[in-house]
Amino acid sequence: MSIELQTKYGQIDISNDVIATIAGGAAVDCYGIIGMASKHQLKDGIAEMLRRENFSRGVVVRQENEEVHIDMYIIVSYGTKISEVAHQVQSKVKYTLNQTVGLAVDSVNIYVQGVRVTNP
């Protein structure tokens, strides 16, 4: 699927994978994020950490009517306030998609798949 944007010059189709990759890249730049997790549930109690080229596996882009919704599955750093990290990710993803693609996102839903201790 793709998101369709209508401009004065014509129509632009943006793939959901492109939107997911941009959103994932914006999320991992936030403080307190260890990485992205797979959207599939935890296996054996360990969340699979995704590499940069697989961010689209940890992000779901949905378009309902004229609204765009994004679900993100993240792994946070131990000792950080999860609500603050989630709010920061939501803000940064909305801002980045608006600035790079011109896409107004209606909601960014955060699902914390795990907490990991980072090495200092």
The DSSP 8-state label assigned to residue 38 in this structure reads: -
The answer to whether 93 touches 25, Cβ cutoff 8 Å, is no
Class of domain 2-116: alpha beta
pTM exceeds cut of 0.85 = no
Per the structure block, which two tokens stand in for 111? 């699902």
pLDDT digits (tens, 9 = 90+) for 46-95: 555 656 556 677 889 988 888 889 999 988 999 899 999 999 999 999 99
Distinct helix (H) and strand (E) counts, the chain: 2, 7
CA angle 40, 42, 45 (to 5 degrees): 170
Which bin fits 47, alpha (ψ -120 to 50), beta or left (φ > 0)? beta
Alpha carbon distance 33, 74 (integer Å): 7
Identify the band that residue 1 occupies on the pLDDT scale cut at 50, 70 and 90: confident
